[in-house]
Amino acid sequence: MAKFQSYYILCPLIDQNSFLGVTEDKESENVVVTLSRNVVNKYRLSDQKQIGGWTSKDHITAPVIYDKEQESYIGVFNKNTIKSWKNDDDNLDKLKKYKFSINILKLVARTNDTALIIFENGNCASLPYGVDNRKTYENKLLIKESETIIDVACCSIDKKEYVCYVLKNKKDAYEILTCPIREELGDLEKAKLNRIKVTRSEDVYVVGHLICTHSKNIYILWSDSKMGIYDIKEKSWKVTFSIPWISTVSEVSVAWMGDNNLIFFGSNTEQDGAILVAYNVALGVGSCKYPMKMYTQHAKLYCFNSRILLQASNHIGMLPYILETDRNLSSLLGSHDAQENQTVIADWGTSDQPLFRISNEMQELLLKGLSERSIFAQIIPSVVKTNDFNHILKALLEFQDIPESNLVMLLNYTIKEMNVDHIDITNEDEFLNFCSSQLDYSEDKYELIPKFVLLNHLLRTSFSDALMLPHLQNGMSLDNGLFLLSYIAYLITETDLYIAHESIMYDWCTLLLDAFYQQYLMIKDEKVSYVLEKVRKIVVGLIDNLNNVSSVMPELDKIINKSQVPEEKVLSTYTIELLNI
């Protein structure tokens, strides 16, 4: 789910119409703002401070980008000239000019490659190749005269770079053009060019679009607030969603927030103000909205470094956001509006059969529509009666959600079957010997192994401790509890547990201490104090280890940074020094 923080201003806009755009800088927390035809500024997002900037006598006609490959800033001047400069260059007018014979639309920065020059005629070329052949570079018109490129992006799919255009003709019809580009040269592989018309019924029209280089999709928003997703790789339309809260009568700006979230900026449904809407594509729900005062048509919208950058009427605004991957059921509620007319059913490509294999005894219960819990509660007594550990384990493996009462019952059953009464848990050697017999495949211990496997599995099962507590208090004897505690202590100290399992072990520890708290206090049994002391030692040992780790960390950090470790002024009580007396 997305959450917005408070909105503030990154920088004022000189002229709304001449604003060209924002691009990423070398560091992710900085942005390059091509403020107008003559001014380029660098801002730090964290404190909105201007950290650099240039002015130019020539008109800048496309957003200035930072090319990571050449480690320089590149700008398009007067539509046909490219200049590149470093961070410390201060005069843009004295730079070397690379004049092209055809007009350049814009430059597109690529993550692992040089920037791409997009020409107005639809062709493209990688920056070095384009610059080298700027005089001779003349290509046929790729797009029709009546068409204009309104959006362009470059994304890589399966290690192949694709350039995608969103085209619009004079009749307001949209077309998507995708084409793989050749390595090094960066020009189009025209044989594989793919054009697709964006069409639906006559009464709707396109209000927003986004070429998303992260999800490799092109999102088209229609005036009936439906959104189509075009998969660039599959060359197919996937699903459609309905976008809530936003008026889709007028232009809507779209950007990608990350983690399946889109951000929309448009007029609100009452058409008396603007709204920002975050929309989760995976869940198909609007996850957050933020009301704004002024709606701006064709507002440029970006997301950099967990911040939304929005071109507002007279400034560039900034709205930090947080994306949470945890799906909170409550946040989904009420946001899923039922659509009555013409619901488009997505093809999931799956059957309506359950994904898991089911045994015969469950079939019947499953048909009744019982929950996993109740099914388990119903079958397990009969399974236990068979006294076959492998069978019990198999049954257990089929369920995720096991009632706590059954878990306690199974634990009791297993401990009883293990015949632990003769084991003296205060005798360390004997107990260790017993516990390690699960690794011993010799004849006489052989029958113990499945029991240990079952016990280990039971202890790995997730549970709710609040629900577990009464069952433990009522259903488990102190002896069993002490055995379990000792066994968990053994598992923590003697075996290698993976982290999730270990954390469950600690939960069990707390729970067992909690459940038998009163008994521990009342009974003056050596066994009890022995086990508790053992647990205490483990906990203290673990805390010591953690403290050691945390004290080692800064030391290591100091060593890595080669900062001199300041020697403590040793005022030892006895020294022998060389002095001039």
Partner 1 sequence: METKVHRFRYYNPKPESIVCVSYNKTNKVLALARKNASIEIWDIKHAPFLLQFIPGAENASVEALGWVNERLLSTDLGGALLEWDLDKRHIKKTVMLTGYAAWCLDVNDNNTAVAVGTEQGYVNIYSVENDDIVYQKLFDKQEGRILCCKFDKTGNVLVTGSIDTIRVWNVNSGHATCRISCKRRGKEVIVWSVAILSDNVIVAGDSHGRLSFWDSVMGDQVESFATQKADILSVAISDDEKSLYCSGIDPIITMYVKVDNTGDQSGIQWVKNIQRNIHEHDVRALVVSGERLISVGADGYLTLSSYPPKKVMRIPPMIPSPRTSFCAMKKSLLLRYSNHLEVWQLGSYARDTSGKIVVNSDIKQEILTKKSGALENDTTLIHVNNHEKERSLKVTEEPIKLVSIQTKSKKEIICSEMAPNGDLIVYSTDSDIRMLKLDEDQGNISLRKVIVSGVKACDGIVFTEDSSKMIVHHNSELFLLQVDPDAGASVIHSVSTVKHLKGRPILHLVISQKYPQGYILAISNVKGDISVWGLKNKKLCHMYNVPKHTCVPSSMAIIDGLLVIVYVDQKVIEYDILKEAMWSWPQHGSIPFWTSRNMAAKTISKHPARNAYVFTDEVSIWTVEKTASQSVEPNKKKVPMKNNERLGVNVTPVKYLAGFHWIAEDEAVIVEVLPENIIMQLPPVMVKQRHNISTKI
Q: Which residues bind partner 1 (CB under 8 A)?
A: 566-567, 569-581
Cα separation, 129 vs 70, whole angstroms: 13
Contact 270, 225 (CB under 8 A): no
Provide, rounded to whole angstroms, the least separation between the CB of residue 569 and partner 1.
Answer: 6
Q: What strands, in cross-sheet order, belong to the sheet with 206-212?
A: 206-212, 217-222, 226-231, 236-242
Residue 538: strand, helix, or coil: helix
Least Å distance, CB 555 to partner 1, is 18
Q: How far is the CB of 567 from partner 1 (least distance, A)?
A: 7
Residue 551 CB contacts under 8 Å (≥ 6 apart), including other chains? none
Spatial contact of 31 and 45, defined as CB atoms under 8 Å apart: yes
- The least CB distance from residue 570 to partner 1, in Å, is 7
Q: What is the DSSP letter of 181?
A: B
**From the CB of 564, what's the least distance to partner 1, in Å?**
10
Distance between CA atoms of residues 530 and 534, nearest Å? 6
- The least distance separating partner 1 from the CB of residue 557, rounded to whole angstroms, comes to 21
Among 325, 298, 225, CA closest to 21: 298
Closest distance of CB 574 from partner 1, Å: 6
* Residue number with CB closer to partner 1 (350 or 573): 573
Residue closer to partner 1 (CB basis): 141 or 559: 559
Distance CA 250, CA 7 (A): 23
Nearer to partner 1, 333 or 571 (CB): 571
Judged by beta carbon, residue 367 or residue 571, the one nearer partner 1 is: 571
Q: Measured from the CB atom, is 355 or 581 closer to partner 1?
A: 581
Burial class for 297, CB neighbours closer than 10 Å (0-12, 13-18, 19+): exposed
The angle at the Cα of 449, spanning 444 to 455, to the nearest 5 degrees, equals 140
Smallest separation, CB 573 to partner 1 (Å): 4
Tokens in use for 183?
């390595």
With contact defined as beta carbons under 8 Å apart, do 305 and 48 qualify? no
Which residue is listed with tokens 């647990």? Answer: 535
Q: Minimum Å distance from CB 568 to partner 1?
A: 9
Angle (CA) 419 422 425, round 5° = 105
Minimum distance between the CB of residue 563 and partner 1, rounded to whole angstroms? 15
- In the complex with partner 1, which residue's Cβ is closer, 350 or 563? 563
CB of 558 to partner 1, least distance (A): 17
Measured from the CB of residue 315, what is the shortest distance to partner 1 in angstroms? 38
Dihedrals phi, psi of 206, to nearest 5 degrees = -80, 130
Closest CA to 485 of 453, 517, 442: 517
Supply φ then ψ for residue 20, to 5 degrees: -105, -35
31 contacts 309 by C-beta, under 8 angstroms? yes
d(CA 146, CA 149): 10
Nearest distance in Å: CB 572, partner 1:
8
- For partner 1, give the closer residue by CB, 355 or 576: 576
User: 172 or 577: whose CB is closer to partner 1?
Assistant: 577
Q: What is the DSSP letter of 314?
A: S
Long-range Cβ contact pairs of 233-241 (< 8 A, separation 24 or more) = 233/157, 233/158, 235/178, 235/194, 235/196, 238/346, 239/344, 239/346, 240/344, 241/279, 241/281, 241/284
Which run of H or E residues covers position 307?
strand 307-311
Tell me the closest approach of the beta carbon of residue 566 to partner 1, in angstroms: 8
> Closest CB to partner 1 among 202 and 568?
568
- Check: CB of residue 298 under 8 Å from CB of residue 253: yes
If the CB atoms of residues 549 and 579 are measured against partner 1, the closer one turns out to be 579
Six token digits for residue 435:
């516990």
Q: What gap in Å lies between CA 275 and CA 423, rounded to an integer?
A: 70
Enumerate long-range contacts of 459-465, CB under 8 Å, 24 or more apart: 459/488, 459/491, 459/504, 459/505, 459/508, 460/501, 460/504, 461/396, 461/402, 461/407, 462/504, 463/402, 463/404, 463/407, 464/404, 465/507, 465/510, 465/511, 465/514
